A and B are shown apart, each in its own frame.
Chain A
Amino acid sequence: MSVYVETATAAKECGACPSTSCNTAHLTRLGIKMDDWDYVVALAGNPNTGKSTLFNAWTGLRQHVGNWNGKTVTRAEGALRYNDRKFKLVDLPGTYSLLSMSVHEEVARDFVLFGRPDVTVVVVDANRLERGLHLVLQTLEITDRVVVCLNLIDEARRNNLKIDERALARDLGVPVVPTAVRHGEGLPELLRVVDEMAQGRYPTRPHRLNYRDAALEAAVAQLAGQLEGMFPGLPNARWVALRLLENDESIIRAVREGTLGDLQRPDAFPELMQLEAR
């Protein structure tokens, strides 16, 4: 990957979009210049929803973008500064689920689960909302610091789709920001919300499914307690316990081999970093 360091001015950033929607003067794209950071932001979402396009817009990097051949198979990292805060941005492979795994999906899941991002942006295709919401709800089981980026709103408009993003935000309990990332639309607002949430100034009330089963809850509580003993500091022990009860092979393996906690290490997937996009 080539090193790209550039500072965006409002004019340069926004050549393609109407001036009213652009106010990115406070954004500085730092490329891979990343010695330290204040916050980590993960970009998750279904395949082909514009995650890498967003990553590039905010970091100035050139992650591959596009249909199929532009598929991201491993995570990429870049940085940006917004006002005086530095953000590390992590572009994840597309995934339909955090539960059933291809290797690429595992990269995304493990980062959201154990990488402890300060904010997870779930990028959703406004034209395939149902699919995106499945992943949003799964993500909300893991973290309450979620911003939904309702992308490809330009195409939705063309398809005569109207989405009531306020109702959606109310039901999900987290902010929903409509965007057309490729055209820069909605990006300043998205960044403002991400920044506020990273600082803990954006209260959320994540919608969570209630399993309503006393026996299940008791088993989960017991297992979660044991897991916390085995893996001190493990985030999301409850979620891991649910996966164990569900017979999730990759999680069972990680517990058995004692590698569950290792997933928190930033260099936990060296072999995956070697993977090339096909």
Chain B
Amino acid sequence: MSDFQIKAAPTTYDVIIIGSGAGGGMAAYELTKAGAKVCMLEAGQHFDPADPKYITQLKWPYQSPRRGASTKYRPFGDFDAAYGGWDIDGEPYTTKDNTKFRWFRSRMLGGRTNHWGRISLRFGPQDFKRKSIDGLGEDWPIGYEDVAPFYDEIDRLIGVFGSNENLPNDPDSIFLPAPKPRLHEMMLLKHNKRLGITTIPSRLSILTKQINEERGSCFYCSQCGRACVAYADFSSSSCLCKPAQKTSNLDIVYYAMAREVLTDPQTGLANGVSYVDTLSMEEKTVRGKVVVLAASACESARLLLNSKSARFPEGLANSSGVVGKYLHDSTGASRGAIVPTLFDRKRYNEDGVGGMHVYSPWWLDNKKLDFPRGYHIEYWGGMGMPAYGFGWGIEGINGMFPDRNGNKHEAGGYGASLKDDYRRFYGAYIGMAGRGEAVAREDNYCEIDPEKVDKFGIPVLRFHYKWSDYERLQAKHMHDTFEQIIQEMGGIALGKKPGADADYGLAEPGEIIHEVGTIRMGNDPKKSALNKWQQAHDVKNLFVVDAAPFVSQGDKNCTWTILALSMRASRHIVEERKAGNL
């Protein structure tokens, strides 16, 4: 590996970027194209989905001795393209006050974009102005019209399929053709129409048509989570970092764990980053004129809070005290079902793309409901590739249905009739998950743990996070909706509906992996850390381009907006440099 080795860097870079995920990759792409000399620090290793040594795509479950089961190293299964997980050896995080926050991290080029779900939703006009609508939280210092041109550009640059539907808060875009629905998705379209639940083609950053020479088009293997050898799905590593490297303006330093942002005590400006070479454990420094944080929302907050100096005793860019606060993840709840009309289905290849082909954007008016913010529904089902866990729990299912001859069938069993049950039920399961907007609160936060450090000696994060009734009642509504849909389809919901004692099945904070808001932007430097260009109020050559600047996040998964905003902030850096302001 041609790691860029530096101890005391001979050069001063124009820009140092920390992290190579969605935000960092986009910044590197934009800044190097504009001619800036950029150094990217990445804590993890190199990754290229087309390099045979990393490929897991199109492997069979029996090529894995655990048949694709998850391990600590691959929490989403043995073939998933994520190096990292919920727990990383030697890199702990802590919680307090019975918080159950979970933090998923990837340590690799491209960060979590190598295996993400590719659900690529623009925020709508209302998503930037929630306080004006319901009085809760805060409005963004920018509106949809500020971001729309950048959404348009990334639609063209990266590619996203979908359909124009003229919905008020789910903007039309520059879409590639959407794949046709699978059988269970056609059923959902039909039944949800009767129920008045808007259901439309999903919007995923997968190339159903080729858009340039560098990337191929999708061949429908349903395995985007394994990362695509054809680069037909978006990941920052292949679609942004790789082209940025081709400009020769980018040096990527792997195994470089940033410890803190360095500042000039006289000017108070950022002038470099100190990091630990995780292979040699050596402390190193790189110098730059502008520093861009993109280590992911919580990690960027950690970096600022750990960058303490006489001039910045509360951490860098934190005179407002908001750094770490307003942490919020999407809400989530899900339910599975079995649909007897799908028993003994005809077999054919219905892999499709790596994700659902239809989804339900938020379709109701919160003014008429007992919770303030909306959610969307994602669906799954069909004849997927069997792997570890296949058929698990059949003893809770096969007793519910008479056999093919109409005779009562006892739950459980063994032998030929059991073997046949698996065949009969294959492809008859469906499921759905709500993903909703939580209200950002000052008292949900991450902070520096006063005692613990990671193996590099860097103080770690401690989380404090509680759901409120806003989110609980939303989850309750999700479950009511799931049962309605399942019933309408003639399905049988599996398991019990979670009640108040189980927070209505609301996922633990962090579990939906859309953590945002920890270095929020705003016009008032007392209530925000960044201005509307994601530039620190206190340190004008410091920018944040991951999800930390988000004021709120709608019920839309956050990554498409990270990309659009990172592009916007990077263009601003280029303009300000030209104008001599940086």
- Are A and B a genuine interacting pair, yes or no? no
